[in-house]
């Protein structure tokens, strides 16, 4: 008979970037936890989800947990059921599941919130819907930043010409600190069968950010590739596009930015608010 390990409050399946913010918060909050990686690095438990395997052996290495956080993407039908059922064969059914997802599934070209229609054929959304049907909770996250992830460094990847700049509209972000706080909030006030959309409550205009951050591109600011950015003239291009598009001031309003996200629902339901504020003050 396979015997499970001791119990913890939260089990993190996949201790990656999110865990650099989450684990310190759990320690400060006196919330017990265990975490996995594929190779067991940094005193984690080795675990590698294989949707084609029904062998429960590696699940016995995992502790009983009140809340299980899945940080890696599950895709398509059956994977959520497969993961939860194998874990529950060993540890029983008294556990809650949180899946981290992406706001990219919300595609309407206007305001979207957690109750808006989304792309139900997206393979990640299919797996998330399956988990919701099992009583889990899904946190669809906006663009992640903090620590090694600096949005300034994204400029040369997302826009290499004036035409590219012209096509850029809204950007939505959330800092790792607030992702961690959101996970703890759901652990403490679980919402079964609920999909949440998480942002830092800001809608950023790419033109505004490029105008603010573009000066350092190509000047060796330590965050952008100097050679790649040498011929990128973001401030000039944004100024010209403002005249061409009759944009009087930056940032442009939501009505000009196309697909925009309303992240108020989660924070209001949990009665907490993002701690990190605007990206402008954090990079």
Contacts of 85 (CB under 8 A, 6+ apart): none
Q: List phi, psi (to 5°) of 262.
A: -105, 105
CB atoms within 10 A of CB 150: 16
Q: Tokens at residue 228, please?
A: 């790649």
Cβ 47 vs Cβ 38: under 8 Å: yes
Cβ 279 vs Cβ 212: under 8 Å: no
Strands 63-70 and 96-102 turn out to be parallel
CB atoms within 10 A of CB 215: 12
Collapse the DSSP code of 146 into the 3-class scheme (helix H, G, I; strand E, B; otherwise coil) and give the result: strand
The pLDDT profile of the chain, 283 residues, written as one tens digit per residue, is 344 458 999 999 999 999 999 999 999 999 999 999 999 999 999 999 999 999 999 999 999 999 999 999 999 999 999 999 999 999 999 999 999 999 999 999 999 999 999 999 999 999 999 999 999 999 999 999 999 999 999 999 999 999 999 999 999 999 999 999 999 999 999 999 999 999 999 999 999 999 999 986 754 444 445 555 568 999 999 999 999 999 999 999 999 999 999 999 999 999 999 999 999 989 8
Cβ 49 vs Cβ 68: under 8 Å: no
CB atoms within 10 A of CB 183: 25
In terms of residues, how long is the chain? 283
| Distance from chain centroid for Cα 91 | 28
Q: List phi, psi (to 5°) of 46.
A: -70, 125
Q: Tokens at residue 273, please?
A: 């608010």
Specify the residue for token string 């096509």.
167
Q: CA separation (Å) from 83 to 65, 75, 91, 139?
A: 14, 12, 12, 18
Cβ 27 vs Cβ 83: under 8 Å: no
Q: What is residue 125's predicted lDDT score, i.e. its pLDDT?
A: 98
Instruction: Let me know how many helices (H) and strands (E) the chain has, helices first.
Output: 10, 13
Q: What is residue 215's predicted lDDT score, i.e. its pLDDT?
A: 83
Q: Tokens at residue 264, please?
A: 């108020």
User: From start to end of the chain, where are the E strands?
Assistant: 5-13, 33-37, 45-46, 63-70, 96-102, 111-112, 137-141, 143-145, 170-171, 173-175, 195-198, 204-205, 260-261
Contacts of 193 (CB under 8 A, 6+ apart): 132, 133, 135, 136, 137
Residue 112, beta-bridge partner list: 261
């Amino acid at each position: 008979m396979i015997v499970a390990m001791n119990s913890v409050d939260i089990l993190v399946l996949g201790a990656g970037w999110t865990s650099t913010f989450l684990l310190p918060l759990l320690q400060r909050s006196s919330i017990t936890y265990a975490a996995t990686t594929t190779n067991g690095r940094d005193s984690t438990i080795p675990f590698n989800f294989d949707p084609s395997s029904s062998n429960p052996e590696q699940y016995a290495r995992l502790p009983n947990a009140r809340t299980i956080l899945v940080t890696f993407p599950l895709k398509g039908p059956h994977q959520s059921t497969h993961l939860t059922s194998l874990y529950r064969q060993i540890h029983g059914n008294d556990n809650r599941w949180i899946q981290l997802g992406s706001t990219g599934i919300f595609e309407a070209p206007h305001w979207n919130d957690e109750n808006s229609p989304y792309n139900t054929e997206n393979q990640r959304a299919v797996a998330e819907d399956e988990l919701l049907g099992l009583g889990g909770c899904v946190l669809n996250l906006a663009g992640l930043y903090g620590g090694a992830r600096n949005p300034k460094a994204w400029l040369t990847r997302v826009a290499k010409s004036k035409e590219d700049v012209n096509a850029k509209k809204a950007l939505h972000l959330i800092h790792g600190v607030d992702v961690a706080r959101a996970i703890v909030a759901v652990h403490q006030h679980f919402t079964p069968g609920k999909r949440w959309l998480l942002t830092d409550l800001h809608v950023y205009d790419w033109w505004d950010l490029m105008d603010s951050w573009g000066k350092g591109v190509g000047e060796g600011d330590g965050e952008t590739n100097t050679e790649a950015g040498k011929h990128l003239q973001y401030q000039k291009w944004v100024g010209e596009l403002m005249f061409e598009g009759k944009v009087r001031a930056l940032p442009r309003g939501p009505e000009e930015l196309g697909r925009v996200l309303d992240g108020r629902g989660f924070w209001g339901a949990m009665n907490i608010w993002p701690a990190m504020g605007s990206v402008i003050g954090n990079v």
